[in-house]
Amino acid sequence: MKEINKPIMKKAQILFFVIFFLSLPLIKIGYADTVAAPDFTLGDMNGQDFTLSDFKGKQKVLLFFWATWCFHCRQALKEINQKKSDYKIVTINIGEPKDRVKEFLAKNNYDVYTLLDEKNKVAFSYFIFAVPTFVLIDKDLTIEYMDHVFPPDLD
């Protein structure tokens, strides 16, 4: 695979942020109106693939984007570890290698279903610029809720 030129990559990142900030008036933080959830496939900690569209028409999905260095993420993971829900709760670690994530989860006794987004592709497709971020997706794969705190009906 060809290495991307760093100045070109920097321009692409700047363009991405400009487009994002120009689109902010169109995005409602907290609740979103009929915004389709981007489909994705990521590997879990056991190397098995998870595909969001497999849940269409079956079950609501709560995505939780997090990182090991994030204090608030650690608090949320403790809560998620104790949640019992009708939702499929999926935690997505962004930007970190599998070994670090595995060690962190084991050290803290978190028993949560975790996907690895090492290259931040899924995080970027959901416009995740800060962690923790919760995204609640309904059975039609529409984003119902997106915020930095638990959805109210899961508290």
- Read off the CATH number of the domain in which 36 is found: 3.40.30.10
Does residue 114 lie within any of the structural domains?
Answer: yes
Whole domain around residue 149: which residue ranges?
A: 30-154
Question: Over the chain, what HEC string results?
Answer: CCCCCHHHHHHHHHHHHHHHHHHHHHCCCEEEEEEECCCCEEEECCCCEEEHHHHCCCCCEEEEEECCCCHHHHHHHHHHHHCCCCCEEEEEEECCCHHHHHHHHHHCCCCCCEEEECCCHHHHHCCCCCCCEEEEECCCCEEEEEECCCCHHHC
User: Could you tell me what percent of the chain has a pLDDT over 90?
Assistant: 67
pLDDT for position 153? 73
Does residue 18 lie within any of the structural domains?
Answer: no
Indicate the average pLDDT of the chain.
85
Mean pLDDT of 62-75: 96
Does residue 46 lie within any of the structural domains?
Answer: yes
Does residue 107 lie within any of the structural domains?
Answer: yes
Name, in order, each residue with C-beta under 8 angstroms of 93's C-beta and a sequence gap of 6 or more: 66, 67, 68, 101, 114, 115, 116, 117
pLDDT for position 62? 95
Does residue 23 lie within any of the structural domains?
Answer: no
Domain count, the chain: 1
Does residue 78 lie within any of the structural domains?
Answer: yes
pLDDT in tens, 95-107: 999 999 999 999 9
Better pLDDT: 129 or 102: 102
Does residue 2 lie within any of the structural domains?
Answer: no
Q: Report which of 102, 76, 80, 79 is spatially closest to residue 89, judged by C-alpha positions.
A: 80
Does residue 19 lie within any of the structural domains?
Answer: no
Better pLDDT: 7 or 94: 94
